[in-house]
Amino acid sequence: MKVDKIIIHEVGPRDGLQVEKTAVPMEEKIRWIDKLIKSGIDIIQLGSFVNPEKMPQMADTDKLFTHYNTAGNKPKQVILSGLALNEKGLDRAMACGVEMICMGVSASDTHSKKNTGMSTSEAVSRIIPMAKKAMESGKRIQVSVQSAFGCGFEGPIPPEKVLSIAKEYLNAGIRNISLADTAGHANPKQVEELFGAIHELDASAELACHFHNTYGLGLANCYAAMKAGVIYFESAFGGLGGCPFTKLPAGNVSTEDLVHSLQRMEIRRDIELNELLEVARQVAAFFNRELPGFILKSGSIVDFRVG
């Protein structure tokens, strides 16, 4: 297996928190994000530009970006990303200086309507012009296909439907494409085949993966994605998260578990695992419960004298 580069995209402040009932004060989020920055993680998703009445945990997203775009607070080596699902969200993201804007379309019509109020085809017709607008403004863009490996409402999603959306992205000149396992239905064989099929469409595509650990296959799917040439890996501190508009919300792959597994393979030894574990401890203490991540409970067996 050839590994040229692995980029970790921490989505805990967004996906990790969006289903939580207890509101997290902005000061606490900043405390966690500062430690994530210190860890050497590559990209951190601070939040999503959605209706705060529907998702109160994301009500401070604009303020978070304003804070980190203020002189003295802006990280030098870390990219800050945000999620926008419609034109209003994109305008907000651009207004507060988001470096990397993530957008997505669900391959499941049912999930798409519950999540955005749009059908899949309508969402594609709106997301692509949004992505082009952001690219023309010099922003980094990542587009995703959500429910790419299956849907809790509709069951299996035909690969052809996922690939048809990917083709539209590629034809529009968008090369950074994420496949999101929103319902956690993916298996390693499916992961290799679907990512491989996109690379057959365009070998220059920069691929990203986003797995939920609903059925315990998250890390196995990450490894399969790595074998298929995926570069960007999205994960959340402590294994928190889940889409509130899917049938069975479940946590993301845990960032510290992912980094630990990579470091066992002598990959990404530059990331400070102890900083990630400390974030997970603080998050667990805040919510006063045990988190799904494993390394927080078992401890690391990475030998840091190697590498």
- Residues belonging to the active site: 243
Side-chain half-sphere of 123: how many Cα atoms within 13 Å? Answer: 25
- Look up residue 223 and give its amino acid: Y
Please, are residues 35 and 69 in contact by the beta-carbon 8 Å criterion? no
The owner of tokens 């501190």 is 237
Spatial CB neighbours of 172, under 8 Å, sequence gap ≥ 6: 128, 131, 132
Radius of gyration of the chain (CA): 18
Please, are residues 208 and 180 in contact by the beta-carbon 8 Å criterion? no
